[in-house]
């Protein structure tokens, strides 16, 4: 086993991870920053082991690429915390832990006898975080919500897709991601506070409230002006300056705010008379005349590849970006030079490229050093090595279905 | 009120757009004093082009609430020197200008570290601070482009570029992730007494939740394509049409128990269960037919009725809310006080989103409205920089405080 020492600002901290999909990115952020995250799975394995895609499309609990990504750097044990022996082992782990993260329905941990108050009695310095769909209070607190439900209530789903067709979910789990990120931030603040106070605390994160932050400025704008945005068509009936433009090989976006960038674009385009007048220097005017502006830019973009537009546009200090596939992103010179992906190997998946650490702390960077755990991979290391149990104990606990 | 956990931490902000300001805003909510350096030479993207509206923009308010505004012309040597004095007595510098601007101002890391070895610098950039595209100019809508979100957020076989909404969604997770990094650096500083700098790349933060897509490419050697509202582990799954114009409710059924309760609910209102939908496997196979069956029920009801009935049998359901719904129909937001009302000095009443993470001992809060342009310039000059009234007057006249 590799030591976590010297692997980032959270090395030396132990996190017990009871999270489902809603909190996986949270403990991954902590693990990537050097925390020793111990993932506690039920003896039959966590549900996210069933989430596709799978290596070679073969469904198998050790081949879920979803599980592989979100559990990098974590150690894994199996434990049935509902059983009395499982609970006792869990409490022993809590005594040596700094953080517990869970995503269970409010009240579940309490009714199992391992709620915050019970754990605090074991370890007063414990930072306990619960990330739940709606938080611990309010009329919807016991409702179920997945990522799509989160962004649906958060007004991001309503805006995605063609009018008349069903609203469309994003490719990644944005609401889970935002809730997990706020969870990690809250945990970091609590640990910072604990450096002086030596006191732990309880952290309550609502995915529903986190999701409300993602959609942008619609809540403040509606609250002030009553304006409410609609789902926008991309099929040509209406056009927006900032929608992607077709190029020779795909699409690119040109997003302009400062007037200098507008001038540079017009110069680059050879100052076409239709958009070179001073009135077009005002964004408000451009937005009022999308037919003229979009028409001229679209004609210009159709003459280049998206990479040509990207390289030349950025050279000219204009915010141009190519609309890339996942593979194109992995092969971008920028991606390679920054070493965004790390070569890893996993017993069931083989060699793969793991997405790296964000953000980058230059003196104490986090790093990727361990693939996601196999089911129960670290039972022996933790139960025997750290809790001092015997080999016989493990056999008996396994027979009982505790581990 | 309880002492805030980041009280005593001073943050200087040299930013534009949203991702940088969000880093500082999140720190502010937990007690940091944030001094936003800006200039009247040009309104920030969110203050807008029209000086009459600088203090009346709701988007600006969301990003800047609780901060102080210090107007300083960085094109003057005196202006830059004043900012050097400020960073000497501060803990964090947040910046997100194009690469090269901070260097031009003499605030690059080697210079900054000389001025104040304890300071933490966070550089928020679309593409990060290294590599051939480090100097790229990007805004929120650019960030999802390069790494796959924009392309993948679409219907299967789509002929359009994207179905991604016209929002700046990557800015916000990027900002909170940056704030996470700053707190880690503050923890480290308690041990070592030294600051450090943080390279926070927006596109990388956005990409960090797309990991499974990159693995599909690197492990299965296959380019992921847009999948629309597909799920293989839940059925029914997705937004179903409800009574009314463009009204939808998301429903997601994951287990056989959930299906039994959900189908039982539909049967109670007279729907006939088809044997074809008996198992998850069958439901995924006959998805189109099953979706029609579910929709024929949801269409009879208002989306909130659907949500309440389906949640009533303990199955995931959520209205596809627009912003008006969030104000008028979201009982949870109403009960938890999520929509915070504030009186802005010039704009009048504005509404903003509350802090979505609650710490029991050291909670954060929305600490006040967004600063008027230059509201705190003199106060900072007097109290933090120790300038006399005469000096202040002169700097005003010379348009250094501008």
Contact: B45, A258; criterion CB under 8 Å: yes
> Which residues of chain B are within 8 Å of residue A201 when distances are taken between CB atoms?
359-362
8 Å CB contact of B169 and A214: yes
Residue B166 has what pLDDT?
Answer: 85
pLDDT above 80: residue A187: yes
With cut-offs at 50, 70 and 90, classify the pLDDT of residue B394.
Answer: very high
Q: Average pLDDT for residues A27-46, to the nearest whole number?
A: 97
CB contact under 8 A, B132 and A169: no
Distance CA B128, CA B346 (A): 37
What per-residue confidence (pLDDT) applies to B19? 94
Instruction: Report pLDDT for A278.
Output: 95
Domain B10-208+339-397 has CATH 3.30.365.10: no
The tokens for A37 are 């995250």
Give the pLDDT confidence score for residue B1 in this predicted structure.
61
- The answer on pLDDT for A2 being more than 60 is no
Take residue A355 and report the two structure tokens written for it: 């997405």
Instruction: Indicate if the pLDDT at residue A225 is higher than 60.
Output: yes
- Cβ contact A232:A204 at 8 Å: no
Chain centroid to CA B55: how far?
A: 21
CATH topology agreement for domains A14-214+338-399 and A245-322? no
| A77 contacts A376 by C-beta, under 8 angstroms | yes
Which strands, in side-by-side order, build the sheet including A320-322?
A245-247, A250-254, A320-322
Cβ within 8 Å of A, B 272-301: none
Determine the Cα angle at A300 with ends A299 and A302, to 5°: 70
pLDDT at B170: 85
- Closest residue to B153, CB basis, from A163, A168, A318: A168
Going by CATH, does the domain composed of A14-214+338-399 fall within 3.40.50.960? Answer: no
Chain mean position to CA A128: 20
Q: Whole-model pTM above 0.95?
A: yes
Give per-residue pLDDT as tens, B255-290.
999 999 999 999 999 999 899 999 999 999 999 999
Q: Given a cut of 90, is residue B14 above it in pLDDT?
A: yes
Q: Tell me whether strands A127-132 and A201-206 are parallel, antiparallel or unpaired.
A: parallel
Q: Which of residues 72-131 of A touch B (CB under 8 A)?
A: none
A264-271, long-range: CB < 8 A, 24+ apart:
A264/A316, A264/A317, A264/A318, A265/A297, A265/A313, A265/A316, A265/A318, A267/A316, A268/A312, A268/A313, A268/A316, A268/A318, A269/A296, A269/A297, A269/A300
Q: How many CB atoms lie within 10 A of CB A5?
A: 10
Cβ-Cβ contacts under 8 Å for A255 (sequence gap 6 or more): A242, A319, A321, B138, B139, B141, B142
What CATH number belongs to A245-322? 3.30.1540.10
Kindly provide the b/e burial profile for residues A238-256, where b requires at least 16 CB atoms within 10 angstroms of the residue's own CB.
ebebbbbbebeebbbbbbb
Asked if pLDDT for residue A6 goes beyond 60, the answer is: no
SS3 content of chain A, % helix, strand, coil (to 5): 40, 15, 45
Outline where DSSP puts E strands in A112-231.
127-132, 201-206
CB A220 within 8 A of CB A207: no
Q: What distances in angstroms separate CA A214 from CA A154, A209, B60, B371, one per listed residue? A: 8, 9, 15, 23
User: Could you give the angle at the alpha carbon of A289 between the alpha carbons of A287 and A294, nearest 5°?
Assistant: 85
User: Which residues of chain A make contact with B149, given a CB cutoff of 8 A?
Assistant: 170-172
Predicted local confidence at residue A3, as pLDDT: 41
Q: So where are chain A's domains?
A: 14-214+338-399, 245-322
State pLDDT tens for residues B335-361: 999 999 999 999 999 999 999 999 999
Domain boundaries, chain B: 10-208+339-397, 237-331
Those residues whose C-beta lies under 8 Å from the C-beta of residue A162, and which sit 6 or more positions away, are A231, A233, A234, A235, B155, B160, B163
Query: CA A334, CA A357: separation in Å to the nearest integer?
Result: 16
Interchain CB distance below 8 Å, A154 and B216: no
| Per-residue pLDDT tens over the stretch B216-244 | 999 999 999 999 999 999 999 999 999 99
Give residue-wise pLDDT tens across range A126-137.
999 999 999 999
Q: Each residue of A351-377: pLDDT tens digit?
A: 999 999 999 999 999 999 999 999 999
Burial class from Cβ neighbours inside 10 Å (0-12, 13-18, 19+) for residue A302 reads: exposed
* Distance separating alpha carbons of residues B224 and A91, to the nearest angstrom: 43
Contact A176, A25 (CB under 8 A): yes
Contact pairs from chain A to chain B, CB under 8 Å: 490
pLDDT value, residue A298: 94
Contact B190 A195 (CB under 8 A): yes
Pick one of 3.20.20.80, 3.20.20.70, 3.30.1540.10, 3.30.450.370 as the CATH number of B237-331.
Answer: 3.30.1540.10
Which residue, A76, A64, A71, is CA-closest to A29? Answer: A71
The β-bridge partners of B93 are: B12, B121
Q: In Å, how far are A205, B117, B155, B327 from A292, measured between CA atoms? A: 47, 53, 29, 37
Cβ of B30 under 8 Å from any chain A Cβ?
A: yes
Average of pLDDT values for B193-202? 97
pLDDT averaged over chain B?
96
Q: Which tokens in the block code for residue A191?
A: 């640990």
| 8 A C-beta contact, residue B11 and residue B380 | no
Q: Please state whether beta strands B120-125 and B92-95 pair in parallel, antiparallel, or not at all (unpaired).
A: parallel
Rounded Cα gap, residues B111 and B253, in angstroms: 57
Binary contact (A222, B323; C-beta < 8 A): yes
Integer Cα distance of A375 and A294 in angstroms = 54
Across the interface, whether the CB atoms of B215 and A182 are under 8 A apart is answered no
Query: Residue A78 forms beta bridges with which residues?
Result: A41
As given in the structure block, the two tokens for residue B148 are: 């796959």
ipTM of the prediction: 0.98
């Amino acid at each position: 086993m590799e030591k976590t020492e010297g692997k980032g600002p959270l090395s030396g901290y132990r996190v017990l991870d009871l999270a489902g999909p809603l909190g996986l990115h949270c403990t991954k952020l902590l693990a990537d920053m050097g925390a020793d995250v111990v993932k506690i799975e039920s003896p039959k394995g966590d549900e996210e082991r069933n989430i596709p895609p799978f290596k070679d499309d073969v469904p198998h609990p050790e081949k879920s690429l979803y599980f592989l990504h979100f559990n990098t750097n974590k150690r894994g044990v199996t434990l049935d915390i509902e059983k009395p022996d499982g609970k006792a082992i869990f409490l022993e782990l809590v005594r040596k832990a700094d953080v517990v993260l869970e995503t269970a329905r409010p009240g579940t941990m309490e009714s199992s006898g391992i709620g915050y108050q019970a754990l605090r009695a074991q370890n007063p310095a414990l930072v306990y975080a619960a990330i739940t769909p709606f938080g611990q209070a309010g009329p919807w607190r016991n409702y179920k919500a997945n990522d799509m439900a989160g962004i649906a209530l958060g007004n991001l789903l309503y805006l995605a897709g063609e009018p008349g067709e069903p609203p469309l979910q994003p490719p990644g789990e944005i609401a889970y991601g935002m809730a997990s990120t706020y969870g990690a931030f809250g945990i970091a603040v609590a640990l910072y506070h604990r450096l002086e106070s030596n006191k732990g605390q309880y952290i309550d994160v609502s995915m529903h409230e986190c999701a409300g932050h993602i959609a942008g400025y619609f809540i403040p704008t509606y609250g002030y002006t009553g304006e409410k945005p609609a789902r926008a068509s991309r099929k040509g009936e209406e056009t927006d300056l900032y929608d992607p433009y077709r190029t020779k090989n795909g699409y690119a976006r040109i997003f302009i705010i400062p007037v200098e960038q507008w001038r540079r674009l017009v110069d680059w385009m050879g100052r076409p008379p239709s958009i070179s007048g001073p009135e077009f220097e005002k964004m408000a005017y451009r937005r009022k005349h999308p037919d003229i502006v979009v028409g001229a830019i679209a004609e210009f973009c159709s003459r280049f590849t998206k990479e040509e537009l990207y390289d030349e546009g950025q050279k000219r200090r204009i915010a141009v970006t190519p609309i890339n596939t996942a593979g194109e992103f992995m092969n971008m010179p920028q991606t390679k030079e920054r070493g965004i992906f790390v070569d890893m190997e996993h017993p069931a998946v083989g060699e793969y490229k793991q997405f790296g650490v964000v953000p980058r702390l230059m003196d104490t960077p986090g790093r990727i050093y361990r693939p996601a755990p196999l089911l129960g991979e670290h039972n022996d290391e933790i139960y025997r090595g750290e809790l001092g149990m015997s080999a016989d104990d493990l056999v008996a606990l396994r027979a009982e279905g505790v581990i | 009120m309880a002492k805030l956990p980041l009280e005593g931490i001073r943050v200087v902000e040299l930013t534009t757009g949203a991702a940088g300001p969000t880093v500082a805003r999140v720190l502010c909510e937990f007690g940091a004093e944030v001094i936003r350096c800006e200039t009247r030479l040009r309104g920030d993207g969110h203050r807008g082009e029209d000086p009459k509206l600088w203090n009346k923009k709701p988007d600006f308010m969301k990003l800047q609430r609780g901060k102080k505004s210090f107007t300083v012309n960085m094109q003057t040597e005196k202006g830059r020197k004043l900012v050097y004095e400020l960073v000497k007595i501060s803990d964090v510098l947040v910046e997100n200008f194009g690469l090269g601007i901070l260097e031009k101002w003499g605030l690059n890391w080697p210079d900054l570290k000389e001025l104040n070895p304890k300071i933490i610098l966070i550089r928020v950039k679309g593409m990060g601070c290294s590599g051939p595209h480090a100097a790229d100019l990007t805004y929120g809508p650019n960030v999802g482009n390069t790494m796959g979100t924009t392309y993948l957020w679409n219907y299967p076989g789509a002929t359009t570029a994207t179905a991604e909404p016209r929002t700046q969604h990557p800015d916000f997770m990027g900002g909170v992730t940056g704030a996470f990094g700053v707190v880690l650096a503050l923890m480290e500083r308690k041990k070592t007494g030294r600051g450090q700098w943080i390279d926070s790349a927006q596109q990388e933060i956005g990409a960090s939740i797309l990991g499974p897509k990159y693995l599909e490419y690197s492990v299965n050697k296959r380019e992921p394509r847009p999948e629309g509202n597909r799920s293989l582990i839940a059925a029914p799954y997705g937004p179903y049409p409800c009574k009314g114009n463009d009204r939808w409710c998301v429903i997601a059924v994951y287990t056989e128990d959930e299906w039994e309760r959900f189908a039982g609910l539909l049967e109670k209102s007279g729907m006939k269960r088809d044997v074809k939908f008996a198992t998850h496997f069958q439901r995924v196979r006959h998805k189109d037919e099953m979706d029609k069956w579910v929709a024929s029920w949801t269409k009879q009801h208002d989306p909130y009725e659907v949500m309440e009935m389906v949640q009533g049998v303990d199955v995931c359901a959520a209205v596809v809310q627009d912003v008006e719904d969030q104000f008028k129909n979201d009982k949870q937001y109403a009960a938890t006080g999520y929509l915070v009302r504030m009186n802005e000095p010039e704009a009048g009443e504005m509404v903003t989103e509350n802090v979505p993470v609650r710490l029991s001992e050291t909670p954060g809060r929305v600490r006040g409205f967004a600063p008027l342009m230059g509201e705190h310039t003199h106060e900072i000059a007097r109290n933090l920089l120790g300038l006399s009234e005469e000096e202040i007057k002169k700097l005003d006249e010379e348009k250094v405080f501008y």
